[in-house]
């Protein structure tokens, strides 16, 4: 994946989990990487790991639900590294509740973080990609962008919105040298899935090992996906070899969602 040398990328939610894995994968491909998120300490740890690989990197504390913070973040990246032409919208939150227990605040937070934040970042960066006649946008969605499930109305709605945004912008820039795709993972072995297992354990009184088995069982492969699997796909989508892949929502879940 050395064809990313000289490119500048931004990974939101880049301090841990899938975001961290993607940031490191891009760095191994030669890209200089900015990581953003809300926790300065984990962002700095990721930056140190990227610099150990070789490329330059910078960490920026940013809440992507705030448009002014997104604009400030983009200006900072341009100053520190140059114009970012790779955007990985990974910042996101998850939660579950029955419809009757889904509060206005839960609904608003889910949509603002998972969909509006990506919109702000795309609106800030895609015009520069069009001007440069090259760019890559990858939105980290979920299998919940492709299929609904009980108790995740707000989450599924936000991820469906993200996939719709992906497809619409992909069509808009298809002739401009820019591609826009989504990756839709199933349950991935990250801290977010640990929290899901803890939630199941608390609700069902099963121990957390048994709760993890429940989550593993959603995949026909009877396992959790890994952050590195998602990161490898993201790096491939950023490469020239993937320039014909545009407007797709690619599922990484071992085969449970096949349509």
Burial of 60 (0-12, 13-18, 19+ CB in 10 A): buried
Q: How far is CA 87 from the centre of its chain?
A: 9
Q: Is residue 124 within 8 Å of residue 62, measured between CB atoms?
A: no
Phi and psi at residue 84, in whole multiples of 5°?
-75, 125
Q: With contact defined as beta carbons under 8 Å apart, do 183 and 250 qualify?
A: yes
* Under 8 Å between Cβ of 154 and 92: no
Instruction: Tell me if 251 sits within 8 A of 184, measured CB to CB.
Output: yes
Catalytic residue list: 155
Structure tokens at 21: 């894995």
Q: At what angle do helices 17-28 and 227-238 cross, to 10 degrees?
A: 40
Burial class (CB in 10 A: 0-12, 13-18, 19+), 208: middle
Contact residues for 43 (Cβ-Cβ < 8 A; gap 6+) = 14, 15, 35, 36, 37, 59, 60, 61
What's the longest Cα–Cα distance across the chain? 55
């Amino acid at each position: 994946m050395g064809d990313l040398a000289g490119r500048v990328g931004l990974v939101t939610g880049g301090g841990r989990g899938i975001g961290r894995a993607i940031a490191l994968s891009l760095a191994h491909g030669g890209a200089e990487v900015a990581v953003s998120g809300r926790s300065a300490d984990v962002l700095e740890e990721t930056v140190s790991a990227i610099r150990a690989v070789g490329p330059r990197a910078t960490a920026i504390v940013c809440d992507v639900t705030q448009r002014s913070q997104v604009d400030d973040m983009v200006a900072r990246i341009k100053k520190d590294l140059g114009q970012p032409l790779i955007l990985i919208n990974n910042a996101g939150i998850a939660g579950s509740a029955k419809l009757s227990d889904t509060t206005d605040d839960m609904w608003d937070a889910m949509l603002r973080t998972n969909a509006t934040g990506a919109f702000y970042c795309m609106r800030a960066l895609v015009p520069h990609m069009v001007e440069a006649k090259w760019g890559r946008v990858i939105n980290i969605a979920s299998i919940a962008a492709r299929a609904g499930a009980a108790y995740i109305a707000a989450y599924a709605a936000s991820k469906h919105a993200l996939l719709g945004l992906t497809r619409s912008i992909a069509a808009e820039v298809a002739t401009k040298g820019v591609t826009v795709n989504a990756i839709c993972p199933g349950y991935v072995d990250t801290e977010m899935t640990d929290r899901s297992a803890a939630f199941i354990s608390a609700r069902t009184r099963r121990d957390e090992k048994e709760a993890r088995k429940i989550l593993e069982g959603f995949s026909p492969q009877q396992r959790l996906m890994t952050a590195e699997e998602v990161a490898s796909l993201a790096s491939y989508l950023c490469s020239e070899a993937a320039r014909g892949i545009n407007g797709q929502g690619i599922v990484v879940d071992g085969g449970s969602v096949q349509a």
